[in-house]
């Protein structure tokens, strides 16, 4: 299974990070392309930068390309004056407004941790932040946008190869370069050759079954993969930067490419940073390898890694009613309510997606993002009962700019306390629901009450601890117990869960009708 292969490579790469000779650990941008003050940390050897259009993804990528002195590069390569040029015409009043710009880097290098700053006032200059006799770290850098061969000037340049009076130079790709491509493409090559004359280059491929063709006749995805294979399959120790890595690629090939990139990073000591709009690419690295940029009136900021339900809504546009709650206990309660509702309403299991995030304080920010991406009408926010008197609901509605459903779990406390009180109120019923004798459940609960009821924690925290301990003793988890209790309570008309049941039923029916 490819998921198992991803899990294995994630673990190996995280361990590899400590032993990599070079690692760009942080990038700090100020005053560039609408970015007021942005810090981006790189915690995993293969980082994926996501965000909406104009959120700063390419800006971060191009800034990273200025981090190192690149062996063999020209004086105008991999420097901010080239990657961030200004429009300065001699005979026009229209020109780019010039601001002070700061680009700072923190590195782990063979000689220890270092820092460097590019700064532009009248011109660009470097500073090593007070370190005497310092020099910019050297490292090979690869920067590429996987664009199609569609620009007319690019096509004309390639076609001019066929009109030369001299034969172009042929450079066959190596076995490792071709192997990298063949792991993702559906056919095998006899050979792939790079034809070149001066700065003009063209790939020419011959398949095992006899087809021979130049990249003018390649599909966009095939050309992207072959170019990438040629250029990075054999480099070592480099910083690899790829803009819109999914361009022209089928979702399955995107997944295979991200697996190959991580295996290459492990084998060749590469640090890789890519930008994407693809949920497939995002899910191909662990959470700490995902960097989400968001632009609002205050500028560009890094958002915490989204949980799957949020990520899929923003980047995958999943056709489902999405419910966002606070933690695993709340998720269990909401699942239990839908276990009761969906059969009653004739709904399908995959028509509802329930996720949890970092807490209710994040919900207003999520609401603004969902509105911006046109997804707000497919969301319901479910908040713990202890937030009833807070202003969270008003902030969510304000940011959503619409009547998005905001519902509360029963009680005025954490959901674990409501579940514990349900268990205490009718131990006979719940013992059977949990597959126990009443005396066994009563014995466990009495024991836990005697241990924790005198603790100095809040009543909600004590209930969380007791329910967690009970779940462990029963070889279950907290979410499962909450789900079972909520499923049964949803069918009781006198239950204080009914306002949530009715709210979720209304939200589901409105979503299905809309």
Regarding whether 62 and 168 lie in a shared domain, the answer is no
Verify that 156 and 287 share a domain, yes or no.
Answer: no
**Contact predicate 295/34, CB 8 Å:** yes
- Closest by CA position to 323, among listed 277, 269, 366: 366
- Residue spans of the chain under pLDDT 70: 146-165, 305-308, 313-318, 357-358
Contact 432, 424 (CB under 8 A): no
Q: Please name every residue paired with 460 in a beta bridge, in sequence order, or none if there are none.
A: none
Stated pTM of the model:
0.74
Among 387, 479, 460, residue whose Cα is nearest residue 421: 460
Same domain, 275 and 329: no
Q: Are residues 205 and 349 in the same domain?
A: no
CB atoms within 10 A of CB 44: 21
Condensed to tens digits (0 to 9), the pLDDT of residues 80-98 reads 999 998 877 777 777 777 7
CATH at 249: 3.40.50.300
On whether both 459 and 402 belong to a single domain, the answer is yes
* Closest among 233, 248, 237, 300 to 278, alpha carbons compared: 248
**241 assigned to some structural domain:** yes
* DSSP character string of 369-426: HHHHTT-GGGEEEEE-GGGTTSSHHHHHHHHHTS---EEE-SSSS-HHHHHHHHHHHT
pLDDT at 425: 87
Say whether both 362 and 310 belong to one domain: yes
Residue 439 has what pLDDT?
A: 87
Co-location of 394 and 491 in the same domain: yes
Q: What are the distances in angstroms from CA 390 to CA 220, 332, 396, 398?
A: 52, 23, 12, 14
Provide the phi-psi class of 33: left if phi over 0, else alpha when psi is between -120 and 50, else beta.
left
| 320 and 454 within one domain | yes
Residue 292 lies in a domain: yes
Residue 388 forms part of a structural domain: yes
**222 part of a folded domain:** no
| C-alpha 117, offset from chain centre | 28
Domain shared by 30 and 15, yes or no = yes
pLDDT given for residue 268 in this prediction? 93
Q: Is residue 357 part of a domain?
A: yes
Domain shared by 80 and 211, yes or no? no
- pLDDT at res. 154: 55
Residue 225 lies in a domain: no
Say yes or no: 155 and 100 in one domain: no
Q: Do residues 362 and 338 both lie within one domain? A: yes
Q: Is residue 228 part of a domain?
A: no
What residue numbers bound the domain in which 432 lies?
306-514
């Amino acid at each position: 299974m490819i998921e198992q292969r991803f899990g294995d490579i994630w673990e190996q790469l995280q361990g590899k990070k400590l032993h990599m000779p070079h690692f760009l650990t942080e990038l700090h941008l100020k005053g560039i392309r609408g970015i007021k003050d942005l810090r981006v940390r790189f915690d995993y050897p293969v980082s994926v930068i996501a965000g909406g259009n104009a959120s700063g993804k390419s800006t971060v990528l191009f800034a990273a390309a200025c981090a190192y002195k690149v062996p063999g590069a020209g004086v105008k390569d991999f420097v901010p004056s080239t990657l961030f040029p200004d429009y300065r015409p001699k005979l026009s009043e229209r020109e780019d407004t010039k601001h002070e710009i700061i680009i700072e880097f923190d590195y782990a290098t063979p000689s220890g941790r270092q820092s460097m700053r590019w700064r532009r006032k009248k011109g660009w200059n470097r500073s090593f932040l007070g370190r005497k006799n310092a020099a910019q770290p050297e490292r090979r850098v690869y920067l590429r946008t996987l664009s199609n061969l569609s620009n007319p000037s690019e096509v004309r340049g390639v076609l001019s190869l066929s009109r030369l009076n001299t034969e172009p130079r042929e450079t066959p790709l190596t076995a490792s370069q071709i192997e990298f491509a063949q792991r993702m493409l559906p056919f095998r090559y006899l050979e792939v050759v790079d034809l070149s004359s001066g700065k003009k280059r063209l790939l020419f491929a011959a398949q095992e079954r006899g087809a021979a063709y130049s990249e003018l006749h390649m599909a966009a995805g095939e050309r992207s993969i072959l170019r990438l294979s040629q250029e990075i399959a054999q480099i070592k120790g480099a910083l690899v930067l790829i803009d819109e890595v999914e361009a022209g690629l089928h979702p399955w090939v995107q997944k295979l490419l991200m697996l190959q990139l991580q295996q290459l990073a492990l084998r060749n000591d590469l640090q890789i940073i890519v930008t994407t709009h693809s949920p497939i690419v995002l899910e191909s690295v662990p959470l700490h390898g995902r960097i989400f940029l968001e632009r609002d009136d205050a500028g560009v900021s890094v958002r915490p890694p989204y949980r799957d339900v949020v990520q899929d809504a923003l980047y995958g546009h999943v056709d489902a009613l999405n419910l966002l709650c606070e933690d695993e206990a709340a998720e269990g309660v909401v699942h239990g309510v839908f276990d009761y509702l969906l059969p009653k309403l004739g709904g399908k299991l995959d028509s509802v997606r329930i996720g949890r995030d970092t807490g209710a304080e994040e919900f207003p920010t999520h609401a603004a993002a969902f509105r911006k991406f046109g997804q707000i009408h497919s969301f319901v926010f479910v908040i713990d009962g202890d937030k009833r008197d807070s202003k969270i609901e008003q902030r969510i509605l304000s940011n959503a700019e619409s009547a998005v459903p905001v519902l509360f779990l029963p009680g005025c406390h954490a959901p674990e306390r409501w579940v514990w009180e349900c268990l205490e109120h009718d131990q006979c019923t719940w013992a059977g629901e949990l597959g126990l004798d009443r005396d066994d459940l009563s014995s466990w609960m009495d024991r836990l009450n005697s241990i924790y009821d005198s603790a100095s924690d809040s009543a909600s925290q004590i209930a969380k601890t007791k329910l967690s301990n009970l779940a462990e003793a029963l070889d279950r988890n907290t979410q499962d117990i909450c789900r079972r209790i909520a499923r049964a309570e949803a069918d009781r008309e006198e239950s204080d869960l009914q306002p949530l049941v009715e709210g979720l039923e209304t939200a589901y029916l409105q979503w299905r009708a809309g």
